[in-house]
Amino acid sequence: MAGHATRREFLGGAAGMAAGTLLGARALGGVHRGVDDTIRVALVGCGGRGTGAAVNALSVQRGPVRLVAMADVFEDRLKASYEAISGEVEEGLDVAPERRFVGFDAYKHAMDCLRPGDIAIFATPPAFRWVHFTYAIEKGLHVFMEKPVTVDGPTSRRMLDLAARSREKGLKVGVGLMSRHSRAMQELKQRVRGGEIGEIVSQHGYRMHGPVVTFRSAPKPAGVSELEYQIRRFHSFLWTSGGCFNDFYIHVIDHLCWMKGEWPVRAQGVGGRHFRYGPGGVPWIDQNFDSYGIEYVYADGTTMRFDGRTMDGAGNRFMSYMHGTKGSAIVSANSDCGLPSRIFGKRDMSAGSAVWTSEVAGAERNPYQNEWEDLIGAIRDGREYNEAQRGVEASLVCNMGRMSAHTGQEVSFEEMLACGHEFAPGVGEMTVGSEAPVLADGEGLYPWPRPGVGGGREY
């Protein structure tokens, strides 16, 4: 586990934020004049995914893009991100020290460095997404937000309202569900729509591998606040991320729904935690199950089965496929959107029965870059482009499957949307001294899901 920032580092830069914002605005004053068509970007959330998104933004081929501000709760992550970006790009990085902001309100200062029509990247844990999106809409900013975008019913309803507001203002919004920007999958989608595998009768998705990132966590070390610990270990806590289910599984679930052309209406799930202790008997304290099996059902009765597993030593499988009345198709051959996508004339998907294999060349093989080319192109062309609603709906479908496994009950799409349990109702007012939304018991353990005995709540 990476080292933690001290309290001083956690608060680092706070005293200079107001002055920094003013200096940042002055430093950028000249670039808003004349016919300069540079699109300016602020990065909010400087972890690995935020860093990658910033590099993709600065690599767009159409017109100049500059990263002019960065924000994170943790100074060490901001510094590491800046260094990583500077090592990846040759131009476009223009984040002077006075435009690097740290703290829970750093997102405001970073967006204050932009003008209407510029872009804010949101790559913090999704618990904060609605807070940041609200401010961006007020500022008239286009947005690229990483998935997932909601973790529960109340935040889903809030984000749907914000999505509608962003459309009303004509804002462009990209959501990091990059499978939909895979050129291979886009062609597969058109072929499926054209009837090449017939009517879809079943879908299957898998993500099975060993523990990665912050899927599981040991007890909080001394000298670190509960809030800092939970944000740093965000995959381990449902309030921050929706847990591993939302963060790990959303891509496969989303692209299968996309192929079907609709969202499931209900889910029935199972799951459990097989390993509660690590080496030396140290307990794993996170809120995740290490295995999930979900049956999603569409309105016409078609089912999508998703299996997720995060265990050491178990077999790996990370792909998706579907069967139709006339054939079958591999959607992702490996990972979230791995090439090639293929169509088969038979259900057994043997090599000899392949009737189409995707061929994607050059830069368009990278869906992470494609989604940025598509977003920037829409901004420069003035085309309608807003993925916010479907990003919320994809997150809601994940919430639905996760809640079904965690409660042991069937959960419908409408029930998930109406669910009143908000994991972190005070997230918009959080400061460094705030109490964490969940607290450990006397043994250092956090509440975990208990199917059948939770009274309809996940914990």
Which residues have C-beta within 8 Å of that of residue 84, sequence separation ≥ 6?
Answer: 51
Residue 407 to residue 328: CA distance in whole angstroms? 33
In this prediction the pTM is 0.92
**66 alpha carbon, distance to own chain's centre:** 23
Does one domain contain both 40 and 173? yes
In one-letter notation, the amino acid at residue 357 is: T
80: tokens are 């590491």
The mean pLDDT of the chain is 92
Residue 45 to residue 189: CA distance in whole angstroms? 32
Q: For the chain, what is the largest distance between any 2 Cα atoms, rounded to a whole number of angstroms? A: 66
Does one domain contain both 129 and 79? yes
Does one domain contain both 220 and 162? no
- Predicted pLDDT of residue 436: 97
Does one domain contain both 405 and 375? no
Count of the separate structural domains present in the chain? 2
- Predicted pLDDT of residue 205: 98
- Predicted pLDDT of residue 454: 79
Tell me, yes or no, whether 78 lies in a domain. yes
- Predicted pLDDT of residue 31: 38
Does one domain contain both 345 and 260? yes
- Predicted pLDDT of residue 57: 98
- Predicted pLDDT of residue 15: 35
Instruction: Kindly report the backbone phi and psi dihedral angles of residue 347, in degrees, each rounded to the nearest multiple of 5, phi listed first.
Output: -80, -20
| 411: β partners | 267
Does one domain contain both 175 and 198? no
Per-residue pLDDT of the chain (459 residues; tens, 9 = 90+): 333 333 233 333 333 333 343 344 434 433 343 468 999 999 999 999 999 999 999 999 999 999 999 999 999 999 999 999 999 999 999 999 999 999 999 999 999 999 999 999 999 999 999 999 999 999 999 999 999 999 999 999 999 999 999 999 999 999 999 999 999 999 999 999 999 999 999 999 999 999 999 999 999 999 999 999 999 999 999 999 999 999 999 999 999 999 999 999 999 999 999 998 988 999 999 999 999 999 999 999 999 999 999 999 999 999 999 999 999 999 999 999 999 999 999 999 998 999 999 999 998 999 999 999 999 999 999 999 999 999 999 999 999 999 999 999 999 999 999 999 999 999 999 999 999 999 999 888 899 999 999 788 999
Tell me, yes or no, whether 452 lies in a domain. no
C-alpha distances in angstroms, 71 versus 19, 24, 99, 116?
A: 15, 13, 8, 18
Tell me, yes or no, whether 355 lies in a domain. yes
Tell me, yes or no, whether 129 lies in a domain. yes
3-state DSSP assignment of residue 29 = helix
Q: How many CA atoms lie within 13 A of 288 on its CB side?
A: 33
Gyration radius from the chain CA atoms: 22
72: tokens are 């994170």
Q: Are 302 and 182 in contact, with CB atoms under 8 Å apart? A: no
Strands 303-310, 200-209: pairing kind: parallel
Tell me, yes or no, whether 142 lies in a domain. yes
Q: Are 159 and 132 in contact, with CB atoms under 8 Å apart? A: no
Residue 178 to residue 176: CA distance in whole angstroms? 5
- Predicted pLDDT of residue 6: 32
**184 alpha carbon, distance to own chain's centre:** 21
3-state DSSP assignment of residue 327 = coil
- Which of these, 369, 376, 375, lies nearest to 62 by C-alpha position? 376
Q: Are 407 and 457 in contact, with CB atoms under 8 Å apart? A: yes
Question: What CATH code is carried by the domain that includes residue 343?
Answer: 3.30.360.10
Does one domain contain both 383 and 353? no
Residue 438 to residue 244: CA distance in whole angstroms? 17
Helix axis angle, 129-139 to 153-168, nearest 10°: 20
Tell me, yes or no, whether 457 lies in a domain. no
Tell me, yes or no, whether 125 lies in a domain. yes
Residue 414 to residue 299: CA distance in whole angstroms? 13
Q: Which percentage of the chain shows pLDDT scores above 70?
A: 92
- Predicted pLDDT of residue 399: 98
Does one domain contain both 293 and 400? yes
Does one domain contain both 112 and 228? no
3-state DSSP assignment of residue 151 = coil
| 111: β partners | none
Query: Tens of pLDDT along 110-140?
Result: 999 999 999 999 999 999 999 999 999 999 9
Does one domain contain both 171 and 216? no
Residue 241 to residue 233: CA distance in whole angstroms? 10
Question: With left for phi above 0 and alpha for psi between -120 and 50, is residue 13 left, alpha or beta?
Answer: left
Tell me, yes or no, whether 454 lies in a domain. no
C-alpha distances in angstroms, 128 versus 246, 428, 432?
A: 15, 7, 14
Residue 3 to residue 135: CA distance in whole angstroms? 31
- Predicted pLDDT of residue 17: 37
377 membership: H or E segment, kind and range: helix 367-381
Does one domain contain both 29 and 118? yes
Q: Domain containing 188: what range? A: 183-361+395-429
3-state DSSP assignment of residue 270 = strand
Does one domain contain both 202 and 144? no
Q: Are 309 and 273 in contact, with CB atoms under 8 Å apart? A: no
What sign for the dihedral angle of Cα 227, 233, 237, 242?
positive
Question: What CATH code is carried by the domain that includes residue 44?
Answer: 3.40.50.720
